[in-house]
Structure 1
């Protein structure tokens, strides 16, 4: 199943992101021998600091088994700033409706062969379909992706052949690289789904997403900030409308639930 993590919710899914970075290290550094930076077992580059969107495939155990990164082309991105030799002097493509897809990989150590739901083939197609659906629903019309000839053949076999290429195939380290173009259309998504036998919604439902989020840590009572509690009580006291009063109590309740202010007994008994 697919989950999307971006700049809005990344702070709630640091555990899944760590799994993703570790998977990228195993694939791109260990297996493919790319010249990438790995620290503490995680492959992270400068583009991860730009709040990209990550489309992750997770198995039934909640483990990240596939991932891809989506980044806007209107700012820094890999084809413009790392793989520019592919362009042969031509300017990079830049458009608000064109995203760059990079760091596409699946966990071949965990996934099976064949075409079962837990196979490399199924996970690859589900990730492709999920990333295209997410892009289309976000108003993106096309994707440019830097791939090697092996991945190009995977796309062709999965009935997801690129509709065009940018620049020329160029040696990049141990393997040649090319920039391929994919359109985010219902037709392309349907072909991928049909090839892999994917039916129904492939995105995790809200309850499952919540279950995979980082646990909320309770603040120990000996570090509770009395000034925060005082602020909450002041907001309740100064509320001039029922809407403001309800909002103030809702904030107080939330802070109490996570242990940042005192419990209900003190709030109700002492201050209300």
Structure 2
């Protein structure tokens, strides 16, 4: 189940959050050699703020399988501060637009189909979370491997500009619409029979 973690319920998920930051360090710094800061074996950046929402996929044994971050675009975020040049008309900013970033599968997850299945679950989780919190669009930056998978997931998504080479990667900024039809299409393509998220706050509320 993908846990929706906000500033209100963050105290309930200390272990999962620390494991998320450890996995981000292992994946992005150790394996992919991104030039990111790390401290005490954790990858934490300036956008891991109180405003951030985290989606952490935890299996039946309590092990973190994947994670992602959602940020409000009215505040500084990756697309506005680092990747603005990818957007022909500038990064979208609105109370109803949030950015998804730091999609991170656990280092133990095999490449190929297992990771594609996780990505499909996370996209469904992003849509469920967005519907729950009144978010209408989700922006994100994708590399050459992720972009076609995100484009074919079933939701309505478009590029905000042409692909550009930055360092060793070709990146593209994208914007997805949040709709119930899009969520249904993502679930159908991923063979998901129902919600994948849970929001624990004064009891459990399951995303529609």
Normalising by structure 2, we get a TM-score of 0.88
Aligned length: 203
1:17-59 superposed Cα distances (whole Å, 9 cap, x missing partner): 0011111112211222211112222110000024300011111
Change (3 A) 1:147 1:174: same
Is this contact kept in 2: 1:86–1:167, CA < 8 A? yes
Report the 3-state secondary structure (helix = DSSP H, G, I; strand = E; otherwise coil) of the residue aligned with 1:26. helix
Aligned to 1:105: 104
Report the 3-state secondary structure (helix = DSSP H, G, I; strand = E; otherwise coil) of the residue aligned with 2:4. strand
- Matches of 2:6 and 2:199 in 1, distance apart? 17
Is this contact kept in 1: 2:4–2:199, CA < 8 A? no
- Matches of 1:166 and 1:205 in 2, distance apart? 31
Are 1:164 and 2:158 an aligned pair?
A: yes
Is this contact kept in 1: 2:54–2:69, CA < 8 A? yes
1:221-246 superposed Cα distances (whole Å, 9 cap, x missing partner): xxxxxxxxxxxxxxxxxxxxxxxxxx
Higher relative contact order (CA 8 A, sep 6+): 2
- Matches of 2:129 and 2:9 in 1, distance apart? 15
- Matches of 2:188 and 2:135 in 1, distance apart? 22
Normalising by structure 1, we get a TM-score of 0.68
Aligned to 1:174: 168
Give the alignment of 1:153-232 within 5 angstroms.
Answer: 153-160=148-155, 163-204=157-198
Is this contact kept in 2: 1:144–1:180, CA < 8 A? yes
- Matches of 2:51 and 2:39 in 1, distance apart? 19
Aligned to 2:44: 44
More helix by share: 1
- Matches of 1:121 and 1:175 in 2, distance apart? 19
Bigger radius of gyration among the two: 1
Is this contact kept in 2: 1:65–1:111, CA < 8 A? no
Pairwise CA RMSD: 2.3
Q: Which runs of 4+ in 1 moved over 4 A?
A: 111-114
Aligned to 1:227: none
Task: Report the Cα offset of residue 113 of structure 1.
Answer: 5.7
Report the 3-state secondary structure (helix = DSSP H, G, I; strand = E; otherwise coil) of the residue aligned with 2:36. coil
Task: Report the Cα offset of residue 123 of structure 1.
Answer: 2.0
1:152-171 superposed Cα distances (whole Å, 9 cap, x missing partner): 111234334x5321133222
More strand by share: 2
- Matches of 1:16 and 1:120 in 2, distance apart? 19
Is this contact kept in 1: 2:124–2:187, CA < 8 A? yes
Aligned to 1:145: 140
